[in-house]
Amino acid sequence: MVMQLANVVPFGRSFDEYQQMFSLCTSDLSKQILGVGDGPASFNAEATQQGFQVTSIDPVYAFNGAEIQQRFDAVVDDIIDQVKSSPDDWIWSYHQSPEDLRQNREQVLQKFLQDYESGKQAGRYLVGELPNLPFADNQFDLALCSHFLFLYSDHVDEAFHHSAIHEMLRISSEIRIFPLLTLMLEQSSYLDSVMQTFKTSGYAVHLTQVPYELQKGGNQMLVIRQTFPSSPSVTLQ
């Protein structure tokens, strides 16, 4: 047994991790980017400091910074203990150890919290959740979904995945999703049907290996791009 979580946890990743997880190059970062389900990631804060334009949306932004800190504190010990109990299920290259992983997550959270209030006032942190997002069609160039879809396959079903991805493609010309493994280190059973549905509907769909790997075998992202001026029709599963 690899990881048991009752709910989606507020664990964020850094700008550097986003670059590696999603193979973001300089031209990617110059686009209008939406982070879907970013939680307390420092990606937005660090990207903004470097002059990039990132919007993050997550239901956790309904809480204030102190409440988000409390939610993190309530789960971090259990998560790191589970990681320590299954050391062979993780790749210790980017993160050197469970202790290093914890330190990274704590640092990411602090960078996020330092930016959170000013970012909310600027409209960079918005409250919302899949599968219904409050944006116009094709408002963004690139939408990134980190550690929610596919990872939490036991929490949200196949129909939700199809609806959520269709919604992301409504508002963005390209989407990237990472990782594709579940919490149990298995490829999500929804991946094949998602790929087939959107390929059949005229989207460009492919898997791409990325340089980031923490879950053993979790080094691929799913990329789906629009191939028409407006979104093709999709028959949801």
Each residue of 92-128: pLDDT tens digit?
A: 999 999 999 999 999 999 999 999 999 999 999 999 9
| Phi/psi of residue 34, nearest 5 degrees | -115, 125
Long-range contacts of 90-95 (CB under 8 A, 24+ apart): 90/214, 90/215, 90/216, 91/213, 91/214, 91/215, 91/216, 93/213, 94/17, 94/20, 94/212, 94/213, 94/214, 95/214
**133 vs 75: CA distance, rounded Å:** 27
Would you kindly state where each structural domain of the chain is located, as residue ranges?
Answer: 15-225
**224 vs 221: CA distance, rounded Å:** 10
Distance (Å) of CA 92 to CA 155, 215, 223: 27, 9, 26
Instruction: Tell me the per-residue pLDDT of 138-160, one tens digit each, with 9 for 90 and over.
Output: 999 999 999 999 999 989 999 99
Residue 109 — left, alpha, or beta (φ > 0 → left; ψ -120 to 50 → alpha)? alpha
Q: What is the pLDDT of residue 2?
A: 52
What is the pTM (predicted TM-score) of this model?
A: 0.92
135 and 69 in contact (C-beta within 8 Å)?
Answer: no
Q: How far apart are the first and last CA of the chain?
A: 29
Q: What share of the chain is helix, strand, coil (3-state, %, to 5)?
A: 40, 15, 45
| 15-225 maps to CATH 3.40.50.150 | yes
Q: What is the pLDDT of residue 227?
A: 86
Reported confidence tier of residue 130, pLDDT bands at 50, 70, 90:
very high
Q: What is the pLDDT of residue 228?
A: 63
The average pLDDT across 11-31 equals: 96
